[in-house]
């Protein structure tokens, strides 16, 4: 079997959302990311986390993607319980209890207003 290498790495994940302004509120005001791009003509924004990781968000436009149909993003936090308490107080909907993989990670899923799923993740040392 012939091997081919076409990929050079992973790029920025992109979410399809119904309202980029609401997504901006979640990523900037609640999660503390920096907005690094904003293109109102294409209803597109990009957000950068403290570790340099970026995520894009756009409204569907004429594309076939629908809000809530994308991959799950993992958002790292130092203390999952504190992060949950803060986000819950701001109306964020957690969809399950914290799951722990002993010695490795704690995870808890939540959704945005479009049904996109995210995971908070606390790495255990």
Mean pLDDT over the full length of the chain: 88
Closest CA to 114 of 68, 71, 69: 68
Q: Given this model, what pLDDT does residue 29 score?
A: 98
| Domains in the chain, CATH or no CATH each | 12-61 (3.10.180.10), 72-124 (3.10.180.10)
pLDDT per position as a tens digit, 25-39: 999 999 999 999 999
What mean pLDDT is predicted for residues 5-22?
Answer: 81
Token pair 């012939």 is at which residue?
2
More confident residue, 110 or 71: 110
Q: What angle do CA 35, 75, 106 make, to 5 degrees?
A: 165
More confident residue, 95 or 61: 95
pTM: 0.75
What mean pLDDT is predicted for residues 92-106?
Answer: 92
Which H or E run includes 118?
A: strand 117-123
Q: Given this model, what pLDDT does residue 111 score?
A: 92
Q: Given this model, what pLDDT does residue 72 score?
A: 77
Is residue 88 scored above 90 in pLDDT? yes
């Amino acid at each position: 079997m012939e091997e081919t290498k076409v990929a050079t790495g992973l790029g920025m994940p992109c979410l399809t959302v119904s309202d980029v302004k609401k997504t901006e509120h979640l990523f900037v005001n609640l999660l503390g990311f920096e907005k690094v791009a904003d293109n109102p003509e294409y209803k597109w924004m990009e957000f950068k986390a403290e570790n340099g990781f970026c995520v894009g968000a756009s409204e569907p436009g004429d594309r076939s993607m629908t809000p809530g149909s994308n991959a799950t993003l993992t958002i790292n936090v130092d203390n999952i319980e504190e992060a949950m308490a803060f986000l819950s107080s701001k109306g964020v909907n957690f969809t399950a209890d914290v799951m722990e993989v002993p010695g490795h990670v704690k995870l808890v899923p939540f959704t945005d207003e479009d049904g996109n799923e995210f995971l908070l993740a606390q790495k255990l040392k």
